[in-house]
Amino acid sequence: MTQIREFIVDEASAGVRLDKFLATSMPEFSRAQIQGFATFLAGRPAKGSTRLRAGDAVSVEVVSAPCPGDTAADNISCDFDLDILFEDDDIIVVNKPRGVVMYPSAGNKTGTLVQNILAHTHLSALGGATRPGVVHRLDKDTSGVMVFAKSDAAFRGLVQTFSTHDLTRKYVAFVWGVPNWTGADITGNIARSSRNRQKMSMVKTGGRPAHTIVNVMDVWGRVGVSALRCTLMTGRTHQIRVHLSAHGFPVLCDPVYGRGSSRLGSVRNRDLLDFIKTHDGQMLHAEVLEFIHPVTGAQMHFRAPLPDDMAQLRCILDEA
């Protein structure tokens, strides 16, 4: 089976070799597999050594033979009720629940968000057999607003929108620590950790540029916790979690970057301590998503309320 994958090169990837760009953009494939795919730049065959420019259109003929049960369509399911914020012929916008995987992968063959959407409607095949309609992602334990492409035209338009960061993405995070500022710009390149390939880390050299604007929403000084609104200016893997943790404000209940065990000894409030000890999943929520509709050109604005667990945490903090 052959699929066409399309990418628009963003400014951060300008000057990067084509083969390195594709290895980063398609992590589900090995470098050896990618070398076997036909690759095109602006519609013409291109070599892996080609240096890219911002705005370049890259397309790849992905040849794969997925095993039965490996594609999203193999196990369409209705494991949970979709919270649909908007839908038309080209896109569907949903409020993703915490604890739900985006699409099928090793160890997660069923119960994914994509499979539940497919039980409701179709999605663009341009995203691939396992990720139809997917143009961005949220971690399993991050909740909030997501847009999926139903038509191929919408897929191409949204890919370009996310590649050029021509949209607004705002998150709410409950974090350890009380800032001595009301707002901050956090910048710093992010790369995959050399010690743990499942983690990302800030690096002085290499990696990809990342920029997060942070504003303080609320502070609970007695328990040393704050609520921050984070605006993504770039979209790197685990960006908010990495940036906040590296600057001393790890997200509560984050099992990877949260460093929660070192903080528990200072928690005297019983309800807060019970919540942190028993809760799974970082207290991070994609609250706002704004973009231009890829087909109609209309300005789209969506806001998802805090999920129940974060609302519960806020009540505990208010009473602490």
Please state, in angstroms and rounded to a whole number, the distance separating the CA atoms of residues 60 and 22. 9
Of 144, 149, 146, nearest to 132 by C-alpha is: 149
Q: Of residues 56, 139, 141, 254, which has the active-site annotation?
A: 139
The secondary structure of residue 111, as a DSSP letter, is S
DSSP-derived secondary structure for 77-99: --SS---EEEE-SSEEEEEEPTT
Please state, in angstroms and rounded to a whole number, the distance separating the CA atoms of residues 201 and 147. 27
Residues pairing with 300 in the sheet: 291
How close are the terminal C-alpha atoms of the chain, in Å?
Answer: 57
Q: Is 139 a catalytic residue?
A: yes
Exposed/middle/buried for 225, CB within 10 Å: 0-12, 13-18, 19+? Answer: buried
Structure-token pair, residue 58: 């890259």
Report the catalytic residues.
139
